[in-house]
Structure 1
Amino acid sequence: MDNQRNLLLAVALSGLLILGWDFAMRTFYPAASLSAPTEAVEPAAQTSAGSAPGTTTVAADLADGAEMPSGPIDLSAALADPNRVVIDTPKVAGSINLRGARIDDLVLKDYRQSVDRDSGPVRLFAPERTDNQYFAEFGFVVGGQRVSSNELWQADGERLTPQTPVTLTRTDASGAVYEIALSIDENYMITAQQTVQNTSGSAAIIQPFALIKRDARSASPDEFIVHSGPVGVFGGTLHDPNSYEELAEIGRDTPSGAASWLGFTDRYWHSALIPGDGEVDNVGFRSLGDQLFRSDLIYDAQTVPAGGTLSQTTRLFAGAKNSVILDEYEDTGITYFGKAISWGWFEWFEKPLLWLLRALNDLVGNFGVAIILLTVIVRALMFPIAQKGFASMASMKAIQPKMKAVQERYKDDKQKQQQEIMKLYKEEKVNPVAGCLPMLLQIPIFFALYKVLILSIEMRHEPFIDFWIKDLSAPDPWTILNLGGLLPFEVPGFLGIGVLAVLLGLTMWLTFKLNPSVMDPMQQQIFNLMPWVLMFVMAPFAAGLLLYWVTSNILTVAQQSYLYSKHPQLKAQAAKDKAELAKKKAKEEKSKA
């Protein structure tokens, strides 16, 4: 009766675990992007102190400076404006808006919007007031006033390419000439050199600035292991404490320390401003309300005398979070630029793992097969450790009679009993924790692979088998209950069990069945139930991760079969212990009756 009650309790707790897991996944890993309304934050007029000698600080804040009409506009209509300069490189395409000197049209040639091959390239930047607006702007603050974003600039070329830079020019009413010389590399970096030639008859106080403005409704969700939102490196330290929702609550975030770079990041995409050598007056992030956010980079005000010149260089990264490309930029001197990817504590292990996956994929041409090969390599490297673990288990079984004798002799003195057992281990050269090492070593590998599958853009939309798994970074789409979508109904989240999840449960059950450990009936029932609970728990995870675990379980079954054949005393001792346990249990039940 007690065992039946305990089993029912275990089943109930397992059900609560499955439902709670589904709730937690929906709460901490939401499928939808941010949509909660936010309050508008009024810009605060400030004056920063402590500027560099010989400079005059005028604008510690950057007003909106927009004189555009309100209301949404159509993307196609915005891009049809003739006042645009084409951007064309091997990796990006788009255009520069001459009205306001904005880079507000950018698509990534190497990445599709979805697994559908006809879905078109990913759009990163879009003009102001379009759906999902997201853009960068370079400009000037003159006499404490931001130059209007509605001013029209002139271009000396029609196309910005790695071979053909473009210079934007405009002249104000006083005769001062402003220039923004733009160049772009083969990847995702744009360099803007902002220059002022004061040809007026009097001195002017001028501040170059750069900004990135975006609508957070187009952002990927901010998750526990994948940051989405404001990010940068200040004072040599990565700064990413706030999601968009949190930034909306606090209004603005002005980190301390010199800025190496700052911007906004998504799971796979990234935009960042990299300051030049000039002294910075104000740098940070702010909420503009209505899901709009901005990162500002404002240089110190300089007094430019009549006939004088002021020049400032800023770089803009806008592209995919490819770790190889980010690390190459970091090697040029951009501090921690590679940390735009949320690697976390296991970066030292995740990057080599990703390198190995890339190498295997180059060899076989399929990331799913590469994951299987990676699993085989990992298990092969760990086999000597597993072999030692099984040998240790065999030694433990061999000294069981001696251990029982020690326990019986010192049953009233636990401290002495423990000392004698440790002495026995030492004499027999047995390590009681050696059998746990293979499992413990699997934990960082498993977690690192999970992060790699979630974070690395190389896994995005990578298929395993085209008619089944088209994206290894997403959950298994072929859910059992509706035959992979063939039946016309949606499966509730916690029942969305795919083929890989079922294979995971089956292979884990097999590993437990092959393990000759001796447990009381209650423990045995819980262990019998555990594979099927994990089947539900792991179903929402990336298909590539489940593929790794299923392959690992299959290899574990093969490994256990081989090692048990090499150490038959393990099964023999387990069978003997099991018979003794059953005999003891029967005797206890008979005495109760």
Structure 2
Amino acid sequence: MDDQNKNLIIATGLSFIVILVWFVLFPPPEGPAPLAPSETAQSTAEGDSLTTPAAPVNSSVSTEATATIELLAEAVDTAPRVQISTDRLSGSISLLGGRIDDLSLNDYRTSRDEDAEVVKLLIPVGGEDAYYALHGWAASTGLDPAAVPGPNTEWSAPDSDVVSVGNPVTMTWDNGAGLLFSKEIAVDEDFMFTITQSVTNTSDSPASMAPYGILARHGEPTDLKNFFILHEGVVAMGDGEYSEINWDDMPDFEFAEREGARAQVKQITENGWIGFTDHYWMGALIPAQGSAFKSVAKYDERRDIYQAETVMPTQTVAPQATITAVSQFFAGAKEWETLRKYEEQGVYNFIDSIDWGWFSFLTKPIFWLLHHLHELIGNMGIAIIALTLLIKAMLFPLAYKSYVSMAKMKELQPQMEALKKDSGEDRQKMQQGMMALYKKEKVNPAAGCLPILLQIPIFFSLYKVIFVTIELRQAPFFGPFQDLSLPDPTSLLNFYGLAPWAGPEAGSIMALAFIGILPLLLGISMWLQQKLNPAPTDPTQQMIFAWMPWVFMFMLGSFASGLVVYWIANNTITFTQQYLIMRSQGYKPDLLGNIKGGFGRKAKSDAEK
């Protein structure tokens, strides 16, 4: 077997196996009040809606818990609200608990349709996928839990207040026993809320309590992607250690008596945050950086609530004194520029809330480069092509050596054929003769594999970038390709995008039968790249080479169209590089002859050239 063809088959086969396993095993994806946080003691709500179970309960939501949820939903629905209004956010804050529970992202819609709804991130209790944040105080030992405001406490605020950039709202509550509580909620021009909580003690006795933040979700989100390349669930940073917890892992936590639920608890000494992440959106509780806090991921199986929690150290407010606690709450889109800004403002390693994956050393610089190319060019599809050019330019020295080696291998073909003839059935003699020939002519037969093998981690890293970053969401290219994060929408059934109706669903039999434009171009580009070399004489090799481009075409057809654009550009540039370098070394690929040979007409032999 020709060593060059053997190397190419091995490298291509490795790529094929990895992508095939990935594609088959991981195909693209077709409540109540929260538990009160525990410090030295646990705070309870007015009434008993926040009392915690003393022992594990059945995983199904109890009838009593359901009734409590319905009562709470009614109370939240009728409670007064303070409006949130910025260029990027709209919604409201309920004065029942001072909960931030109604938030829409004005810049994002659920689809590219003109009448598509704005993305709604936070939802009050009673709505599907209820999701909200609460901030308050947990009573310490010796202080009546009813002396601090709970999740169901109704705060007071001026009727005319609207939370906007530079215009915070201040809520107040008097416990009637000498403690005056205030909660100021401010919002910036993007997605960050700042919560400043104060307690003034007008009594003659000191009082101890711990400030906390709660982020609660009622049940698993209904719009989960459930795709292994994407993390959805708890995301946290603590003392330089990044951690992730999937939704379905939280019910398996050990029951923690002190927390009153299944919980995972970590003591953070200075810097960190915790929250819930979706595909493109995130809510995160951020205590004052540089301060210690308790980070909790919690699942209340009685009420089916998933909860992230931060509890700061206990503070004591002396008579006639005031204490203050400041924290932040992020609720918005995981935009790279925005997260980087908050990181520069002191939120420790906040950029890691984007799921960069195991190959973060590749995905981060690849995205950085793609982001800046997009800013410069203004079209994400062209930016991907430009990124491909830059990657190929960086790999060019290696590619040059590879293609020079391939050209030399072609020149040595007559001598190799003579060695095979002289060696007969003595394979050891043939191998020794070939190694001596390679050493004499300074040829590395394995050099042809390296550029192909290097493409595998780059391919996966770019796929990760295209799949997880919001900058690729609904990013247009041209014509029918208006969302590079989705598969090619064209098909023969919609006249390749000319008809006003959609093509078949990605991954379906119809989509495979009537493949789109980009997968077709991918198959053709791979096929042409093969034709730079004559078809191998071995029938097995011929079959592999004949089928490989079209197998890849169908496999990658259901991948994000941005990735297919990259692969087409990569094949085209590789073809051009290989053709020009081989010609510069005196070997003239007979492209037309090899194409004819592929259709059963004999191509010219190397000797004829």
Same-fold call, TM > 0.5?
Answer: yes
**1:269 offset after TM fit, Å?**
0.8
**1:452 offset after TM fit, Å?**
1.6
Query: C-alpha separation between the residues in 2 aligned to 1:482 and 1:374?
Result: 31
- 2:94 aligns with 97
Q: Determine whether 1:24 maps to 2:39.
A: no
- 1:50 aligns with none
Structure-2 change in CA distance of 1:80 and 1:59 (3 Å): closer
**1:344 offset after TM fit, Å?**
2.2
Give the counterpart letter for 2:281 in structure 1.
W
Query: C-alpha separation between the residues in 2 aligned to 1:533 and 1:564?
Result: 27
Worse-matched range after superposition: 197-206 or 177-186: 197-206
Q: Determine whether 1:459 maps to 2:472.
A: yes
Query: C-alpha separation between the residues in 2 aligned to 1:534 and 1:61?
Result: 59
Alignment of 1:150-161 (within 5 A): 150-156=152-158, 158-161=161-164
Aligned partner of 2:50 among 48, 65, 69: 65
Query: C-alpha separation between the residues in 2 aligned to 1:444 and 1:154?
Result: 56
Query: C-alpha separation between the residues in 2 aligned to 1:521 and 1:89?
Result: 67
Query: C-alpha separation between the residues in 2 aligned to 1:176 and 1:249?
Result: 40
Give TM-score scaled by structure 1 length. Answer: 0.79
1:372-408 Cα deviation digits (max 9, x unpaired)? 3333343345445433322111222334566677786
Structure-2 change in CA distance of 1:299 and 1:401 (3 Å): same
Aligned partner of 2:117 among 91, 96, 120: 120
Query: C-alpha separation between the residues in 2 aligned to 1:563 and 1:546?
Result: 26
Query: C-alpha separation between the residues in 1 aligned to 2:443 and 2:334?
Result: 49
Q: Determine whether 1:504 maps to 2:522.
A: yes
Structure-2 change in CA distance of 1:211 and 1:365 (3 Å): same
Worse-matched range after superposition: 367-376 or 104-113: 367-376
Asked if the contact 1:46/1:61 (under 8 Å) is kept, the reply is no
Give the counterpart letter for 2:309 in structure 1.
D
- 2:264 aligns with 253
**1:113 offset after TM fit, Å?**
1.6
Asked if the contact 2:171/2:182 (under 8 Å) is kept, the reply is yes
- 2:604 aligns with none
Give the counterpart letter for 1:180 in structure 2.
K
Aligned partner of 1:148 among 125, 147, 150: 150
Query: C-alpha separation between the residues in 1 aligned to 2:25 and 2:44?
Result: 40
Structure-2 change in CA distance of 1:44 and 1:325 (3 Å): closer
Aligned partner of 1:430 among 412, 420, 443: 443
Alignment of 1:95-244 (within 5 A): 95-142=92-139, 143=143, 145=145, 147-156=149-158, 158-215=161-218, 216-240=220-244, 242-244=245-247
Give TM-score scaled by structure 2 length. Answer: 0.77
Q: Determine whether 1:530 maps to 2:534.
A: no
- 1:546 aligns with 564
- 1:446 aligns with 459
**1:179 offset after TM fit, Å?**
1.1
- Unaligned segments of structure 2, at least 5 residues: 1-15, 52-64, 254-261, 601-609
Query: C-alpha separation between the residues in 1 aligned to 2:34 and 2:167?
Result: 41
- 2:343 aligns with 330
Aligned partner of 1:271 among 261, 278, 283: 283
Residue 114 of structure 1: SS of its match in structure 2? coil
Alignment of 1:344-355 (within 5 A): 344-355=357-368
1:351-375 Cα deviation digits (max 9, x unpaired)? 3333333333334432122223333
Give the counterpart letter for 1:132 in structure 2.
D
Give the counterpart letter for 2:485 in structure 1.
S
Query: C-alpha separation between the residues in 2 aligned to 1:134 and 1:568?
Result: 67
**1:541 offset after TM fit, Å?**
0.7
Give the counterpart letter for 2:451 in structure 1.
P
**1:103 offset after TM fit, Å?**
0.9
1:165-217 Cα deviation digits (max 9, x unpaired)? 22211101213101112222222211112111122333323221111011332
Structure-2 change in CA distance of 1:482 and 1:68 (3 Å): same
Structure-2 change in CA distance of 1:65 and 1:147 (3 Å): farther
1:260-307 Cα deviation digits (max 9, x unpaired)? 010011121111111126965642111124653110112233343333
**1:236 offset after TM fit, Å?**
1.3
Residue 170 of structure 1: SS of its match in structure 2? strand
Query: C-alpha separation between the residues in 2 aligned to 1:562 and 1:405?
Result: 28
- 1:88 aligns with 85
Give the counterpart letter for 1:217 in structure 2.
P
Structure-2 change in CA distance of 1:382 and 1:61 (3 Å): farther
Asked if the contact 1:219/1:228 (under 8 Å) is kept, the reply is no
**1:308 offset after TM fit, Å?**
3.3
Aligned partner of 1:365 among 378, 383, 396: 378
Structure-2 change in CA distance of 1:60 and 1:300 (3 Å): farther
1:407-428 Cα deviation digits (max 9, x unpaired)? 86798795x9877755654442
Asked if the contact 1:280/1:300 (under 8 Å) is kept, the reply is yes
Structure-2 change in CA distance of 1:299 and 1:105 (3 Å): same
- Unaligned segments of structure 1, at least 5 residues: 1-14, 32-37, 48-56, 583-593
Structure-2 change in CA distance of 1:24 and 1:78 (3 Å): farther
Query: C-alpha separation between the residues in 1 aligned to 2:405 and 2:20?
Result: 39
Alignment of 1:282-301 (within 5 A): 282-289=294-301, 292-301=305-314
1:421-443 Cα deviation digits (max 9, x unpaired)? 55654442223333233323333
Query: C-alpha separation between the residues in 2 aligned to 1:151 and 1:279?
Result: 28
Residue 531 of structure 2: SS of its match in structure 1? helix
- 1:386 aligns with 399
Structure-2 change in CA distance of 1:390 and 1:371 (3 Å): same
Residue 221 of structure 2: SS of its match in structure 1? helix
Query: C-alpha separation between the residues in 1 aligned to 2:550 and 2:44?
Result: 57
**1:253 offset after TM fit, Å?**
2.0
Worse-matched range after superposition: 340-349 or 208-217: 340-349
Asked if the contact 1:103/1:137 (under 8 Å) is kept, the reply is yes
- 1:51 aligns with none
Query: C-alpha separation between the residues in 2 aligned to 1:96 and 1:139?
Result: 14
- 2:256 aligns with none
Asked if the contact 2:237/2:272 (under 8 Å) is kept, the reply is yes
Asked if the contact 2:519/2:557 (under 8 Å) is kept, the reply is yes
Give the counterpart letter for 1:260 in structure 2.
G
Query: C-alpha separation between the residues in 1 aligned to 2:507 and 2:336?
Result: 36
- 2:5 aligns with none
Alignment of 1:486-505 (within 5 A): 486=501, 493-496=508-511, 497-505=515-523
| Equivalent pairs, count | 542
Asked if the contact 2:97/2:155 (under 8 Å) is kept, the reply is yes
Structure-2 change in CA distance of 1:65 and 1:559 (3 Å): same
Query: C-alpha separation between the residues in 1 aligned to 2:328 and 2:456?
Result: 40
Query: C-alpha separation between the residues in 2 aligned to 1:346 and 1:18?
Result: 16
Asked if the contact 1:86/1:96 (under 8 Å) is kept, the reply is yes
Structure-2 change in CA distance of 1:297 and 1:24 (3 Å): same
Query: C-alpha separation between the residues in 2 aligned to 1:455 and 1:303?
Result: 44
Query: C-alpha separation between the residues in 2 aligned to 1:19 and 1:279?
Result: 48
- 1:590 aligns with none
Q: Percent of counterpart pairs with the same letter?
A: 37
Aligned partner of 1:474 among 462, 486, 507: 486
- 2:410 aligns with 397
CA RMSD of aligned residues (A): 4.1
**1:74 offset after TM fit, Å?**
13
Residue 155 of structure 1: SS of its match in structure 2? coil
Residue 217 of structure 1: SS of its match in structure 2? coil
Worse-matched range after superposition: 434-443 or 109-118: 434-443
